[in-house]
Each structure stands twice: as structure tokens, then as C-alpha cells.
């Protein structure tokens, strides 16, 4: 009888402090995000210690102002990478948006109230077209979006091979508007748009069926299909969302530069991918956070700010540091994929 009682006794439950990743309480999937936030705080602290005037509200708000367009485009890239894909066309779509906007406003006299919705619809349709090709014909996202990159960049030069300055009063006034936050610190309209997009993306990613489907597809597309999730529409949706974010980033970039040019945002797709990866999103898909992407962008911004405050270093040091960070975060991702089960 005692043997039966012992066999029926429940086995000891694991300690709540032990996570899936091992004996410590920190799940390995949080390591890249935790590392990003810690590095950002460390750089901000070091900058405040070594450089006078670094520790001020406006310096940190300038990270949002100067990188508003990158935040928006990186949000769209986050959804694409979460689904297990990639989008190399975002920089070219930004350039095309600036060229179409500048040409229609300056050369054809169109109202900005018509041009802005038009270019947003154009970018959204461009992303949806690439998503349709990827889903319908099972093409590799790398190749499709690479073709989209060349196409959008080439269309810029069909409009003009030269830069087109924008002198429209609407664009000039919007670029100069500052919204007071506290004291003398303020934000631009572009930064406010970026924050709104970020908050909306967090809600979509974590509180909607679309966001849950994106995570499921990135974890395992076959499993998502067996679960009855709308895999086809979701895959098209992530590239549609990325196209919209790229066009919106192009509108913001137009406010920032007050010009349209075929060489605008050259290589920005790589910055967006770097920000997403540094923010803790796995390139294999299924794991990541939109909030982490924000810190990835801020990390790139604070590196540039530290170099500017130093004054003795070349701007190319930004690329060197970002490259080193990417190596580190790739190793962290490898550590996660080897220890944590896929969701």
C-alpha cells in the first residue's frame, strides 16, 4: 500500500525562479533585448559623465527627432523579420516617395494634401505587390525585395537625375514645428508621428490576431497552417505594412530634407535591419519585440551622438561600432536558438 501511495504522490514542481533557459530566472529569449537596453543605459551614462551638456532632455529627444524616419521604417521591418522574411526595398521606397512628392508639388503644383495620401497608397501597393509575389509563387523574399529595391531606385531616376528642392510652405512649416514637452525641450511633428506608429505597432503585434499570426508564422509556417491561421493573407499583410511604413518614412524624410533625390536613404535598409536585430528580434523569425526595435534605433542614434560630442572621431566609427554590435547580437541569437525551444 505504501508503494502505491508513493507512486501516486505528485512529483515536485520546478521552482518558479527557473526559466525555460536553465537554472536562472531569465529566459534566453530576453537576453538580446536586455543587452540592448543595458548597453543603451551604459552609453547614456558614459556620455553624461564625459561630455558636458550631454545629460539633457533635448539631447535625448533629438534621438527621436533625427531618427524618426528610421523608427518608422524599422517598425515595418520588424514585422517582416518576425514572419521569417526580409525587405531590402525600404530605402528605395523612401527615395521614390521623396521624388514623387517633390515632383508633384514643385513641378506640377499639386497640393500636399493630395500628394501625401497618394504616396502612402503607392508605397502600400508596392509592398502588397511584393508580398503577393512572395506568397503566391513561393519566391524567396530576399530576391523579390531586391528586385523591388532596384525597381524603386530606378523609377527615381526616370523622374529626375537631379535633386528637386521643395519650397512649398506646408513642408517648410511642418519641418519647423516644435511641440514643447517640458522646459525648453521639444519634439518635432515627425518624432510624434514615429511615436504614434510605434505605439500602434506594439498594439498590433501583441493584441491582435494579425500580430499573433505573424509570430506563429515566424516560429513555424507549417504549424501555423495546421492551426488554421490565415498564413497567406498574413504574409501579404506584413509586406503591405512594410510598404506603408516605408512610404510614411519617406514622407517624414521629405519633411527632414525638404527635397527629393534618387540617392536619398541609400543603404537605409541595412540600418533598419541592424536596428531590428540589435533590438532583439531573431532573423529566423518568431521572436522579437517592437519596443526592442525602438531601443535598437536609439542605440544607433546615441552612438552617432557620442561621436559628435567627442569631435575627434570620424563618422565612420558609427559603422565600426554597429558592425561590432551586430557580431555580438548574432552570437546572442545563436545562444538563444541553441538553448530555447521555438514557439
Domains annotated for the chain, with CATH where assigned, are 27-339 (1.10.3470)
Residue 49, pLDDT score: 93
Structural contact between residues 66 and 253, judged by C-beta atoms closer than 8 angstroms: no
Distance (Å, rounded) from C-alpha 256 to C-alpha 66?
Answer: 8
Q: Flag whether pLDDT at 5 surpasses 80.
A: no
Confidence of residue 332 (pLDDT cuts 50, 70, 90): confident
Rg (alpha carbons) of the chain, rounded to whole number: 22
Q: Flag whether pLDDT at 318 surpasses 90.
A: no
Please give the average per-residue pLDDT across 224-230, as a whole number: 95
Confidence of residue 284 (pLDDT cuts 50, 70, 90): confident
Residue 7, pLDDT score: 41
Please give the average per-residue pLDDT across 248-275, as a whole number: 96
Q: What residues contact 155, with CB distance under 8 A and at least 6 apart?
A: 96, 99
Residue 33, pLDDT score: 84
Confidence of residue 21 (pLDDT cuts 50, 70, 90): very low
Q: Flag whether pLDDT at 22 surpasses 60.
A: no
pLDDT tens, position by position, 159-202: 999 999 999 999 999 999 999 988 889 999 999 999 999 999 99
Q: Flag whether pLDDT at 4 surpasses 80.
A: no
Buried b (16+ CB within 10 A) or exposed e, 63-96: bbbbbbbbbbbbbbbbbbbbbbbbbbbbbbbbbb
Mean pLDDT of the chain: 89
- pTM for the structure as a whole: 0.90
Residue 6, pLDDT score: 41
Residue 12, pLDDT score: 43
Residue 25, pLDDT score: 54
Please give the average per-residue pLDDT across 131-137, as a whole number: 96
Nearest partner of 24 among 285, 335, 325, 327, judged by Cα: 335
Confidence of residue 118 (pLDDT cuts 50, 70, 90): very high
Distance (Å, rounded) from C-alpha 68 to C-alpha 255?
Answer: 11
Confidence of residue 115 (pLDDT cuts 50, 70, 90): very high
Amino acid at each position: 500500500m505504501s508503494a502505491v501511495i508513493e507512486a501516486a504522490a505528485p512529483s515536485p514542481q520546478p521552482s518558479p525562479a527557473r526559466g525555460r533557459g536553465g537554472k536562472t530566472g531569465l529566459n534566453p529569449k530576453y537576453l538580446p533585448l536586455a543587452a540592448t537596453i543595458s548597453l543603451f543605459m551604459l552609453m547614456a551614462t558614459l556620455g553624461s559623465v564625459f561630455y558636458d551638456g550631454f545629460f539633457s532632455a533635448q539631447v535625448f529627444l533629438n534621438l527621436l527627432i533625427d531618427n524618426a524616419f528610421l523608427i518608422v521604417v524599422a517598425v515595418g521591418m520588424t514585422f517582416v523579420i518576425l514572419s521569417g522574411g526580409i525587405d531590402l526595398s525600404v530605402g528605395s521606397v523612401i527615395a521614390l516617395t521623396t521624388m514623387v512628392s517633390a515632383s508633384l508639388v514643385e513641378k506640377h503644383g499639386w497640393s500636399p494634401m493630395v500628394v501625401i495620401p497618394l504616396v502612402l497608397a503607392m508605397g502600400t501597393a508596392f509592398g502588397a505587390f511584393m508580398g503577393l509575389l512572395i506568397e503566391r509563387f513561393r519566391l524567396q523574399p530576399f530576391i523579390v525585395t531586391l528586385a523591388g529595391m532596384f525597381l524603386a531606385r530606378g523609377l527615381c531616376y526616370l523622374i529626375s537625375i537631379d535633386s528637386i528642392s521643395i519650397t512649398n510652405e506646408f513642408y517648410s512649416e511642418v519641418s519647423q514645428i516644435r511641440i514643447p514637452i517640458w522646459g525648453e525641450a521639444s519634439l518635432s511633428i515627425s518624432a510624434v508621428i514615429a511615436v504614434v506608429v510605434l505605439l500602434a505597432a506594439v498594439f498590433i503585434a501583441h493584441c491582435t490576431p494579425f500580430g499573433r499570426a505573424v509570430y506563429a508564422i515566424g516560429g513555424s509556417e507549417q504549424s501555423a497552417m495546421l492551426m488554421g491561421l490565415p498564413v497567406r493573407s498574413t504574409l501579404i499583410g506584413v509586406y503591405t505594412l512594410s510598404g506603408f511604413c516605408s512610404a510614411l518614412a519617406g514622407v517624414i524624410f521629405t519633411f527632414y530634407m525638404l527635397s527629393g533625390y534618387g540617392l536619398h536613404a541609400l543603404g537605409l535598409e541595412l540600418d533598419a535591419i541592424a536596428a531590428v536585430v540589435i533590438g532583439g528580434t531573431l532573423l529566423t523569425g518568431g521572436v522579437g519585440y517592437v519596443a526592442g526595435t525602438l531601443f535598437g534605433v536609439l542605440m544607433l542614434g546615441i552612438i552617432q551622438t557620442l561621436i559628435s560630442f567627442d569631435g575627434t572621431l570620424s563618422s565612420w566609427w558609427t559603422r565600426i561600432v554597429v558592425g561590432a554590435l551586430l557580431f555580438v547580437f548574432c552570437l546572442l541569437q545563436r545562444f538563444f536558438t541553441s538553448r530555447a525551444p521555438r514557439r
